[in-house]
């Protein structure tokens, strides 16, 4: 990479002065003695031009605006020179002029965030029409994380797609796990989205090689916990003088008997309830996460909880996620439940103990949960079988021993 002798000179073309006394501001690019000129598209009164400083005289708003414009032209020319040198071009004055006007095809290559932002703009248009708000916001958050990572590692605002390689992916993964403290499965979501963008770039010939070919994204198996009938009854019968624990218990039980996730309970509104011709009340609501419609009959316990909080500011006064999970931990200890309970345990409990264990069909449970297919629901069914098997093993041990039969 050999840097040429390169200079920029701003001047006014007095021979082309208008009747108003203004002359056009032009600039001369000189590279190794070779020159070419171009117009800036701006004019200035002849007596207001400072030849020595190559700028407009004065500190008024108009003068400052013109001088800032000239500085921007100069900065762009230096940027284009650096890009041309980086690609191995031999710099000439005319080549630099063409690059300034974006006429050099090889300098039009796409950048990572340019392609990512195009993807996100399309996603935003599809929200509510095949794309959920949650999916869109994950895309937005991934861009934010990538920008932080690129700034931290490369000290740059963006990267050309051709610069992405295996090391970039590995480093970004480490950034998510170590710097951002993400679990493996959380970081996987962002890596999969990055992989989608890279695949799109390759398909559109923005990239010639795909660095993800040699990088495997792996999820860790997740152990799903749910409350069995005995544990669920312990929480139903749990009594406390502390309002925060009582509210956390009620919100958790509402989840156990509706299968709604935290965000779907938080966004629950009167228009999501519907009474059929038999008098049965249904919750009909699209899941925030997937946009899939859930249809859930309102069970008596869930209705009692709704009635209990009727007249409040919100339909249900659910606490913040961190707070409610902390209170549920206390409730589990007080109820002598030897499991780690989070609010999402309520959805698992609805799927397993409340419905599948009571012979509600897999297809019906899947529809109530708003699953896009029965694969996830099948997982709950397998967990119930495992739980029943373990209980039967304990029963066998109870009746095994010294016997005279």
**What's the topology of domain 112-214?**
DNA polymerase; domain 1 (1.10.150)
**Are the CB atoms for 377 and 369 separated by under 8 Å?**
yes
Q: What does the pLDDT read at residue 405? A: 43
Q: What is the pLDDT of residue 314?
A: 85
- Annotation: CATH topology of 229-396: hpI Integrase; Chain A (1.10.443)
Among 84, 94, 76, smallest CA distance to 40 is for: 76
Measure Cα distances from 171 to 167, 219, 367 in Å. 6, 18, 40
Q: Are 302 and 285 in contact (CB under 8 A)?
A: no
Question: Residue 389's pLDDT is what?
Answer: 52
Number of C-beta neighbours around residue 3 at 10 A: 9
How many Cα atoms occupy the beta-carbon half-sphere of 130 within 13 Å? 4
Domain boundaries, the chain: 6-107, 112-214, 229-396
Predicted local confidence at residue 71, as pLDDT: 94
pLDDT in tens, 258-317: 999 998 999 999 999 999 899 899 999 988 877 788 889 999 999 999 999 998 788 999
Sheet holding 6-12, edge to edge: 6-12, 22-31, 34-45
Low pLDDT (below 70) residues in the chain = 1-4, 87-88, 104-108, 221-224, 372-405
Q: What is the pLDDT of residue 403?
A: 47
Terminal Cα-to-Cα distance of the chain (whole angstroms)? 93
Secondary structure element (H or E) that encloses residue 40, with its range: strand 34-45
DSSP string for residues in 230-297 = HHHHHHHT---S-HHHHHHHHHHHHHHTT---HHHHHT--GGGEEE-TTS-EEEEEE-TTT--EEEEE
Read off the pTM: 0.51
Give the separation between CA 310 and CA 191, rounded to whole angstroms.
44
Q: What is the pLDDT of residue 404?
A: 47
pLDDT at 259: 92
**In whole angstroms, what is the distance from residue 358 CA to residue 365 CA?**
11
Write down the residue that tokens 């002598």 correspond to: 336
CA distances to 93, 215, 250, 265, 360 from 256, in Å: 72, 39, 10, 12, 15
């Amino acid at each position: 990479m050999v840097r040429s002798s390169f200079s920029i000179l701003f001047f006014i073309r007095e021979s082309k002065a208008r009747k108003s006394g203004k002359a056009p501001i032009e600039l001369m690019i000189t590279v190794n003695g070779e020159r070419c000129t171009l117009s800036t598209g701006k004019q200035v009164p002849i007596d207001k031009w400072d030849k020595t400083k190559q700028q407009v005289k004065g500190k008024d708003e108009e003068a400052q605006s013109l001088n800032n414009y000239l500085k921007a032209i100069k900065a762009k020319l230096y940027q284009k020179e650096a890009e041309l040198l980086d690609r191995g071009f031999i710099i000439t004055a005319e080549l630099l002029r063409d690059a300034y006007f974006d006429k050099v095809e090889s300098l039009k290559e796409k950048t990572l965030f340019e392609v990512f932002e195009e993807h996100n703009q399309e996603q935003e248009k599809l929200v509510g029409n095949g794309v959920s708000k949650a999916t869109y916001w994950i895309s937005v958050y991934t861009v934010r994380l990538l920008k932080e990572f690129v700034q931290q590692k490369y000290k740059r605002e963006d990267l050309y797609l051709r610069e992405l390689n295996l090391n970039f992916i590995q480093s970004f993964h480490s950034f998510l796990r170590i710097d951002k403290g993400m679990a493996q499965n959380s970081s996987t979501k962002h890596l999969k989205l990055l992989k989608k963008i890279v695949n799109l770039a390759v398909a559109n010939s923005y990239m010639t090689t795909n660095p993800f070919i040699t990088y495997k994204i792996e999820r860790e198996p997740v152990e799903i916990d749910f409350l069995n009938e005995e544990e669920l009854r312990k929480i139903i019968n749990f009594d406390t003088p502390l309002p925060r624990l009582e509210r956390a218990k009620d919100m958790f039980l509402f989840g156990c008997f509706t299968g709604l996730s935290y965000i779907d309970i938080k966004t629950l509104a009167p228009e999501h309830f519907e009474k059929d011709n038999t008098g049965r009340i249904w919750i009909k609501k699209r899941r925030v996460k997937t946009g899939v419609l859930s249809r859930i009959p309102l069970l008596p316990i869930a209705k009692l909880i709704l009635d209990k909080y009727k007249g409040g500011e919100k339909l249900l006064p659910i606490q913040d996620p961190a707070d409610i999970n902390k209170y549920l931990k206390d409730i589990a200890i007080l109820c002598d439940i030897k499991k780690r309970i989070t609010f999402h345990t309520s959805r698992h409990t609805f799927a397993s103990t409340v419905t599948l264990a009571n012979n509600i069909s897999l297809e019906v449970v899947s529809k109530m949960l708003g699953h896009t297919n029965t694969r996830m629901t099948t997982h709950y069914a397998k967990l119930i079988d495992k739980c029943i098997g373990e209980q039967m093993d304990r029963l066998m041990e109870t009746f095994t021993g010294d016997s005279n039969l």
